[in-house]
Amino acid sequence: MISGGDAARVTVLVTGASGGIGAAICQLMARRGARVVLHYRSDRAAAESTQRALPGDGHSLVQADLADPVQVQRLWQEVSSRQRIGVLVNNAGIFPDHAPLTTEYAGQGGAR
């Protein structure tokens, strides 16, 4: 758990960061000193607005459709090549018919 100033040297990747709970998580982590990588799927303007509202500097944006395994791999390679990710907040999307222990990610068919 990151509390108080413990986030000062941590980079946090937040999926679904363009609004709602994701944007609130970004605000909290930035206030605690973390660098935040804000993921969005399609609403770049909302993600940019969230980013501009964050205290501190060093925050960045990354776009990917998390229903596409190729884009997930690209996202991770892009983000982790720039900095070490200390925390991942998986806030984006739902898979209501997903059996997580028996279904391969690529075989999910991009369900949202």
Task: Express each pLDDT in 24-77 by its tens digit.
Answer: 999 999 999 999 999 999 999 999 999 999 999 999 999 999 989 999 999 999
Domain assignment present for residue 47? The answer is yes
Our measurement of the distance from residue 77's CA atom to the centroid of its chain's CA atoms, rounded to an integer in Å, reads 14
The number of distinct structural domains making up the chain is 1
Domain assignment present for residue 63? The answer is yes
What string of H, E and C letters represents the secondary structure of 42-110? CCHHHHHHHHHCCCCCCCEEEECCCCCHHHHHHHHHHHHHHCCCCEEECCCCCCCCCCCCCCCHHHHCC
Residues of the chain above pLDDT 70, percent: 75
Closest CA to 1 of 62, 86, 109: 86
Give the pLDDT of residue 70: 96
- For the chain, the maximum distance between any two Cα atoms, rounded to a whole number of angstroms, is 42
State the CATH number of the domain containing residue 68: 3.40.50.720
